[in-house]
Amino acid sequence: MNQTRLSDHAYAGIVEMIRSEGLEVGARLPSEARLAEIFGMSRAVVREALVRLASDGITEARRGAGSFVKSRPSDRLAAFVPSTELPTTLGSYEVRFVLEAEAARLAATRRSPHEMAHIEEGMALLREALLSSEPAHAEDRELHRRIALATGNSAFLMAFDALWGDVEKIMRAGVDISRSRPPEVIATMLREHEVIVDAIRAQDPDGAALAMRWHLWEGRRRLMP
């Protein structure tokens, strides 16, 4: 088993520890040495897992004090993403931050009137789906694909589609978790998409990129309680 796969195992193990032991936000995790002992791995592997957990917003390192729980994945997330798949699934956000923010930027610069109408239609379909009790992941995906299509560069669409296996789980989980919360959470999700579309309509590339990155950041945060 290579180090990347070992670090996936350590990542999933630490998340399961946070869940099973009921560690709350702010709780201190065992030391690297103790985690390495628990998982039967080297400290280097555990350190890599902790770096990735911090990047995904689950833990945070405090100099001289160790690692602490920053946020706990929602219990509902486990229905869509098994703990063993969590490192890869949440890791897809790192790629999406780069890929989709730049796609939104280019779409704002290059979109034609026809492509803008296509994006607007996608937004309307997503709004209808989110405000219903039906699954909305297909409409969510379609809007993001239409934005990628408006770049005029098919590689963006190919890259987004290649991520779909993990993105689908996230989109399904995100809607399910959001619907379990007060109605304003779905309203906020809708507004984030609308801000992206508004910026593309206004041909504001920096605004579109920032709005997309913010939406993805908040989407990841919604996977936590």
**Domain range list for the chain:** 3-72, 77-221
How far apart, in whole angstroms, are the C-alpha atoms of residue 170 and residue 56?
13
Query: What does the pLDDT read at residue 133?
Result: 86
Q: How large a percentage of the chain has pLDDT more than 70?
A: 98
The percentage of the chain sitting over the pLDDT mark of 90, rounded to a whole number, equals 92
Length of the chain: 225
For residue range 164-222, list pLDDT tens digits in order.
999 999 999 999 999 999 999 999 999 999 999 999 999 999 999 999 999 999 999 99
What pLDDT score does 2 carry? 55
Judged against a pLDDT cut of 60, whether residue 1 lies above it is answered with no
pLDDT at residue 147 in the model: 98
The CATH number of domain 3-72, selected from 1.10.1370.40, 3.30.70.580, 1.10.10.10, 3.40.30.10: 1.10.10.10
As a whole number, mean pLDDT of residues 137-166 equals 97
pLDDT band at 8 (very low <50, low <70, confident <90, very high): very high
Tokens of residue 70, six digits: 């920053």
Tokens of 81: 């993403």
What confidence category does residue 5 fall into, taking pLDDT thresholds of 50, 70 and 90?
A: confident
- Rounded Cα distance, 200 and 72, in Å: 34
CATH 1.20.120.530 fits 77-221, yes or no: yes
In the predicted structure, residue 130 carries a pLDDT above the cut 80: yes
Q: Note the pTM of the prediction, 2 decimals.
A: 0.90
pLDDT for the residue 4:
60
Give the mean pLDDT of the chain.
95
d(CA 58, CA 25): 9
Range of lowest pLDDT (2-16, 36-50, 57-71, 149-163): 2-16
Residue 50: is it exposed, middle or buried by C-beta count within 10 angstroms (0-12/13-18/19+)?
A: buried
CATH topology agreement for domains 3-72 and 77-221: no
**What's the confidence (pLDDT) of residue 35?**
97
- 3-state helix/strand/coil string of the chain: CCHHHHHHHHHHHHHHHHHHCCCCCCCECCCHHHHHHHHCCCHHHHHHHHHHHHHCCCEEEECCCEEEECCCCCHHHHHCCCHHHHHHHHHHHHHHHHHHHHHHHHHHHHCCHHHHHHHHHHHHHHHHHHCCCCCCHHHHHHHHHHHHHCCCCHHHHHHHHHCHHHHHHHHHHHHHHHHCCCCHHHHHHHHHHHHHHHHHHCCCHHHHHHHHHHHHHHHHHCCCC
pLDDT, mean of residues 129-143: 94
